[in-house]
Structure 1
Amino acid sequence: YTAAKFGVVGLTKSVALELAEQGIRVNAICPGKMATYIWAKVYPDMPADLVERVPEITEPWLAEGVPLGRAGFPADVANAALWLASTESSFVTGQAIVVDGGLTSGRPWSQMLHAFDKLRDRFREAAGQTTVTT
């Protein structure tokens, strides 16, 4: 996963150099921990009534360790894209715009697995089920 992300950044820089003479700017947006519905996949047996609450339930979990103290939201990524599409960024090319609230170093995968267990427990708790993570 991490190698693929770095590949996108390298490709962005390479293509930006090739197209700069034609006035074409190429940049990448690298989102961090976002409170979106993708996290529902962590709890496949989620009751249907909880699905619409996934961003609300996941936000505190995602905010852990983020220097700005909150999770990101789709609007944060959209605002970065709008800025890149605007004339205010006309001298920006070949860049990886990181939208992660300051969390650029990440976590080891073993910590992420434990964090997924905690999130699954949060979903179970919201559904009125017993938690099992120790």
Structure 2
Amino acid sequence: MTTPTPDSLAAAHDLTGRVAVVTGAASGIGRASALRLAEAGATVVCADLDEAGAGETRDRIRHRGELADAVGVDVTDREAVDALVAGAVERHGRLDVMANIAGIIVTNPVVEISEAEFDRITAVNLKGPFFGCQAAARHMVGQGSGSIINMVSAAIDAPAPNLAGYGMTKAALAQLTRVLAREVGRDGVRVNAIAPGFVISEMTTRNFTDADGNVDPGLKAEVETRMSKGVALRRVGQPDDIAFAVVYLASDASSFMTGQIVRPNGGAAMPF
């Protein structure tokens, strides 16, 4: 299938009339991506286990005069993910972008990861986007177009102690991305992944909060300084650094890109 080449840079990034589902939309990279997709013109379905948080993202989008819905969903539940995609199509008539961003992190040495932790991180970080890919691909293949975006991690390129569970699931998701891209490319569907470096978000700031959930500014600054030392650009990432890549992969600006891993990591990892 041939995708027409946009006639301008603005047109290439314009998502007006497109419908995007974003999981993990209640906070962090997911929220930033939902906001930027809407800014680019897409109607965004904000999905998250934290339905209230997803609703807040929806409200921020609507406050700007843009279009969004919010749905509570457990991505580890296949039927719930199928219903999420079916609902988006039923309500909006199509599905153009599926951004599988929901994820969790477990920090333990390999020998200390419990079976429960293994099952949980595998369920959220691998089964969840797998179900999302399946549901989206089934519809997009019939539609003859679409972009699926999976969120992996720089951990697939730079193995880090205590991140075996996280890195393992993200590496598997990167391979799923490549295989699915091969399977559905002939049908006009693109599948890519983003591998961020360390990003300051709600998920990562949990590592420097007190018992009441308040961020310790001193510890946060210390962590940012330490993490920045291994980054060529000498800073950590922000959610928007990744959200802009999501918009690129969702848009016709990336119409000749599929099966690729985009690496906005500030130079923390530089694989060939």
The equivalent of 1:76 in structure 2 is 241
The Cα shift of 1:98 comes to 1.2
2:261 maps to a residue whose letter is A
The equivalent of 1:66 in structure 2 is 231
In the TM superposition, what are the counterparts of 1:83-98 in structure 2 within 5 Å? Answer: 83-98=248-263
Identity among equivalent positions (%) equals 36
Does residue 8 (structure 1) correspond to residue 173 (structure 2)? The answer is yes
2:184 maps to a residue whose letter is L
The Cα shift of 1:88 comes to 1.3
- SS of residue paired to 1:31: coil
**Counterparts in 2 of 1:35 and 1:95: CA distance versus 1, 3 Å:** same
In the TM superposition, what are the counterparts of 1:42-53 in structure 2 within 5 Å? Answer: 42-45=207-210, 50-51=214-215
Give unmatched runs, 5+ long, in structure 1: 106-134
TM-score (norm. length: structure 2): 0.35
Match of 2:183 among 18, 33, 39: 18
1:102 maps to a residue whose letter is G
Q: Deviations over 1:9-48 (max 9, x none)?
A: 1100000010101100000111111112323322452565
2:188 maps to a residue whose letter is G
- SS of residue paired to 1:2: helix
The Cα shift of 1:7 comes to 0.6
RCO greater where, 1 or 2, for CA within 8 Å and sep 6 or more?
A: 1
Q: Deviations over 1:49-80 (max 9, x none)?
A: x53959x6343233121011111110000010
Give unmatched runs, 5+ long, in structure 2: 1-165
- SS of residue paired to 1:45: coil
State the aligned residue count.
Answer: 104
**Counterparts in 2 of 1:52 and 1:37: CA distance versus 1, 3 Å:** farther
- SS of residue paired to 1:25: strand
The equivalent of 1:27 in structure 2 is 192
Q: Aligned-pair RMSD on alpha carbons?
A: 2.5
